Amino acid sequence: MSHAQNAVVMQGITKRFPGVVALENVSLEVRRGELHAICGENGAGKSTLMKILSGVYQPDDGTLQIDGAEVGFASTRAAEQAGIAIIHQELTLVEDLSVAANVFLGREKCRRVGGIDFGFLDEQAMTKECGRLLELLECSVSPHARTANLRVGDQQLVEIAKALSLNASIVVMDEPTSALTESESARLERTIARLLASGTTILYISHKMDEVFRLADRITVLRDGRHVQTVNRADTTAREVTGWMVGRDISGVDFREPRSRGKKLLEIHDLLLPWPEHPRGYRLSNISLDLHAGEILGVAGLMGAGRTELLETIFGAVEPTWTGTIAVAGKPVRFRHPREACAARIAMVTEDRKRLGLFPDLDVAGNISLCSLTDTLVRGFVNRGREESLVAAPIRDTGVKTTGPHASIMGLSGGNQQKCIIGRWLLTKPHILLLDDPTRGIDVGAKAELYRLINQLCREGMGVILTSSELPELLALADRIIVLAEGRLTAEFERAEATEQNIMEAATL
């Protein structure tokens, strides 16, 4: 195909960061009007390549052409003016602003009086246009809503609406469905179909193979910062693509060998978490469950079903207004703060890694040792030697890939960041580990490594409660699965009777 038929041509792109080559001599051609999927493990260079296309980064070597003309973007604004919009995996919203203010941030509409712009914001015009974009996404969020009050899935849709407001001819979507429910993902796919029908070119980063093979015209695979393969979707398989991504076959990962169930660690009876401002009146209602040592209890449900709220209630991260009984090791508890849960040997890995899990100003060692600081202190100050000795085991045991304990946490891939957070909690020697969608936005290779780690922890006697937006993940790992729908427990399945169909039926009651 001639370059004239391509919307994007990237040739010989190289990008280096201190201590790492993120991209090495990568070339990519994207045809006008196609959906081109970019696949690879976290750290493969996918997001870096797309950030070069959208002006976030500038390449050290190589050239970029848009519609046949060579360009060099010094900023995201320059890329936007050339018709390129990017939807980042990690949300870039200002939480204290309204939804409409976020959608038009930096491009605010102003009122004109007699053809003169006096700099007064045209709130009405922005609200109306924002409402139209949200309606296009079939999203019921109000343009006036404060962004901080939205769940992650709704924030993701606001990020998508922000990109759509640019009327871009080239749209980059970096894991756009990582925080979306199945119904929200279906809405996004309908929006994608409309964009493609209007001639928009879409570059789509995803780890979900079913999504890639449903949407993509062509697929490009990157590994370790290098181009591995570009192929038509019809000419390959999901197994072949994942093999290119990780450089090995991971289809044999299986954890269905029975685990021995130990003593009861956690028991919940008739849990009710009120929600006074909502017509339903509750976030959780009439929840009863138990958890044993050596067991993984899966929690399934659509976005808003109460999965996160259940784990936060157990962990003492909600207002203590709930009623019912929570007992740990047979003793009733009512945690008013997560530190009380930690003292009771409970740990929680949160759903929102960026906002609630990572401390970007601390290095790898600082992030891992955070909940065990007293073990690093000498005369009231953190001792580097003690800190390095303390974090060596969790770095080794969780398989964190890093240049050293004092590397930047933000320089690690998403999977390695998640391993650091899990390592942090393992230092507290928990008996109960709460994992809230722990593999969100993580590539297939890192997922397999985390699965092995979770399985091993469970076999060593830990009790694990695992939520996930991916049913195959729950089916592969969990000994039992409970299903939540609109805050209520609607079903419980033993491993042998759990299927995607009966779980989804219970989740949509």
pLDDT in tens, 85-136: 988 876 778 989 999 999 998 888 887 766 666 678 888 899 999 999 998 8
Residue 30 contacts residue 53 (beta carbons within 8 Å) = no
Mean pLDDT of the chain: 87
What pLDDT, in 10s, does the model give residues 396-439? Answer: 888 888 888 889 998 888 778 888 998 898 888 999 999 998 88
Domain ranges of the chain: 3-83+168-246
Q: How many CA atoms lie within 13 A of 237 on its CB side?
A: 5
What would the DSSP string read from start to end of 13-46? EEEEETTEEEEEEEEEEEETT-EEEEE--TTSSH
Calculate the alpha carbon distances from 198 to 43, 126, 195, 222 in Å.
33, 23, 5, 29
- Helical residues (DSSP H) of 427-470, grouped into ranges: 444-459
Mean pLDDT of 452-476: 88
- Is the model's pLDDT at 2 over the cut of 50? no
Supply the angle between the helices 182-197 and 152-164 in degrees, to the nearest 10.
Answer: 10
pLDDT band at 481 (very low <50, low <70, confident <90, very high): very high
Residue with the bigger pLDDT between 156 and 417: it is 417
CATH class of 3-83+168-246: alpha beta
The β-bridge partners of 220 are: 38, 230
Q: Give 248's DSSP letter.
A: S
| pLDDT 10s digits, 219-263 | 999 988 999 999 999 999 988 887 788 675 544 555 667 788 899
Tell whether the model's pLDDT for residue 42 goes beyond 70: no
pLDDT over 90 percentage in the chain: 44
Compare 12 and 384 and report the one with higher pLDDT.
12
Question: What DSSP character marks residue 274?
Answer: E
pLDDT, average across residues 362-388: 87
Average pLDDT over residues 282-299: 95
Q: Are 60 and 14 in contact (CB under 8 A)?
A: yes
Residue 1: per-residue pLDDT: 45
pTM for the whole structure: 0.59
Q: Is the pLDDT of residue 370 over 90?
A: no
